[in-house]
Amino acid sequence: MVANSPLNPKDRNAAFKTPEDVIARVLSGERRALAHAVTELERLSPTAPALLQAMQPHLGNALVLGITGPPGAGKSTLVNAIIKHLRSINKRVGVIAVDPSSPVSGGAILGDRIRMTAALDDNDVYVRSLASRGYLGGLSPAAVRVIDALDAGRFDIILLETVGTGQNEIDVAEVADIRLVISAPGLGDDIQAMKSGLLEIADIMVVNKGDREGAERTMHQLLGALSIRASTGNKIPVLKTTATTGEGIAELMQAVETIGSQVRAAPKTERRRKRARYLIARAAADLVAGRIKGGSTSGLNELSDAVLAGTLRPEDAAKQLLKDA
Ligand SMILES: Nc1nc2c(ncn2[C@@H]2O[C@H](COP(=O)(O)OP(=O)(O)OP(=O)(O)O)[C@@H](O)[C@H]2O)c(=O)[nH]1
Ligand SMILES: [Mg+2]
């Protein structure tokens, strides 16, 4: 519960009474209620489960667009340009910026930057930064709960910006409906590194900084790398953008819409089930990791010794721990 602010007479009757009350107000587009719900869900406060439950009947409309790629590729700038485009066609846009502590461009302020340039005073844009601290190398489960809050808040598209390093990229693949992988010329070895992970999850590849020298070369490199994948799966579009000017954004969003219409055609529950599965997997991993770290599981030494001796696979030891959890 949030106390009434004595400073603002308008808020006099605005106390959040019950989770149902909060959600009703989120559904009606009340910004303060949305901010409240998002904060409660992010923190996983005691009322969070009730909020999530109250939201359930209203979820599954938003399209979650994952935007990932190496630090400095221009993801946040692209998010800004996409917001601008979506607002011009009257779509409501939610943004979740994960891992705002990227070292390259001083990303700690990225959420603020998006807010300042694109979202100020616009009730149809909502931007939230989430720290991925505490979830080393992974997307925090809080992001999934915040997605639900924004979905309930009737945002048509939710942009989920994450830095594509380590576990993040895999998590984005699990959680997003459509995945954009952003690269840019001049990122050095990153294209090489991308081949292993990011290329595999992309629905659309974006070469940003199209105004920079080397953009064409980067596109060719990616097309080459993707041709290996193309033989086994769908053809992945490779599109060029200049996020700073908005060039190529309309074409990019056209490609997003093409995939989006397929995504929307699938049953809502199927999409949401995917996110639930991700949460369960995270919880299971955390549970097992916690048990191991705490050393609280009886027989942990025996399991460790068996793994050391080569008589038990680590995977089977993990299964054993899950069974006992
Ligand atoms: N020339 C040019 N510069 C761009 C373009 N897009 C982004 N930039 C610049 O590239 C730098 C990094 O942009 P960001 O949007 O912060 O990149 P990011 O991928 O979000 O970075 P992190 O969040 O730190 O991973 C900024 O200085 C941008 O102004 C572009 O299309 N052309
Ligand atoms: Mg950024």
Atom 27 of ligand 1: nearest residue by CA position: 105
- Write down the pTM of the prediction: 0.84
DSSP letters, 212-279, are STTHHHHHHHHHHHHHHHHTTSPPPPEEE-BTTTTBTHHHHHHHHHHHHHHHHHS-HHHHHHHHHHHH
CATH of domain 59-266: 3.40.50.300
Q: Tell me how many degrees the CA angle 224-228-233 measures, rounded to the nearest 5.
A: 125
Ligand 1: does its nearest atom lie under 6 Å from the Cβ of 147?
Answer: no
| Helix H or strand E segment including 74 | none
Ligand 1: does its nearest atom lie under 6 Å from the Cβ of 73?
Answer: yes
β-strand partners of 94 = 126, 158
Q: How far is the CA of 162 from the centre of ligand 2 (A)?
A: 8
Rounded Cα distance, 253 and 157, in Å: 11
- pLDDT tens sequence for the chain (325 residues): 444 444 444 443 468 889 999 999 999 999 999 999 999 998 889 999 999 999 999 999 999 999 988 888 999 999 999 999 999 999 999 999 886 554 444 444 454 555 555 556 788 999 988 876 544 445 677 888 999 999 999 999 999 988 766 555 567 777 899 999 999 998 765 566 565 677 788 899 999 999 999 999 989 888 887 776 656 566 889 999 999 999 999 999 999 999 999 999 988 888 888 888 888 888 888 787 877 777 666 688 888 899 999 999 999 988 888 786 6
- Ligand 1 atom at shortest distance from the alpha carbon of 70: 25
Ligand 1: does its nearest atom lie under 6 Å from the Cβ of 104?
Answer: yes
What's CA 323's distance to the chain center, in Å?
A: 30
- Ligand 1 atom at shortest distance from the alpha carbon of 106: 24
Name the residue ranges covered by the structural domains of the chain. 9-57, 59-266, 271-324
Atom 28 of ligand 1: nearest residue by CA position: 74
Ligand 1: does its nearest atom lie under 6 Å from the Cβ of 102?
Answer: yes
Residue 26 near residue 37 (C-beta atoms within 8 A)? yes
Ligand 1: does its nearest atom lie under 6 Å from the Cβ of 209?
Answer: yes
Rounded Cα distance, 269 and 276, in Å: 10
* Ligand 1 mutation target, pool 67, 68, 76, most atoms within 8 A of CB: 76
Atom 8 of ligand 1: nearest residue by CA position: 74
- Ion ligand 2 neighbours (CB, 5 A) are 75-76, 107, 110
Q: Length of the chain, please?
A: 325
For the stretch 86-99, pLDDT in tens is 999 999 999 998 86
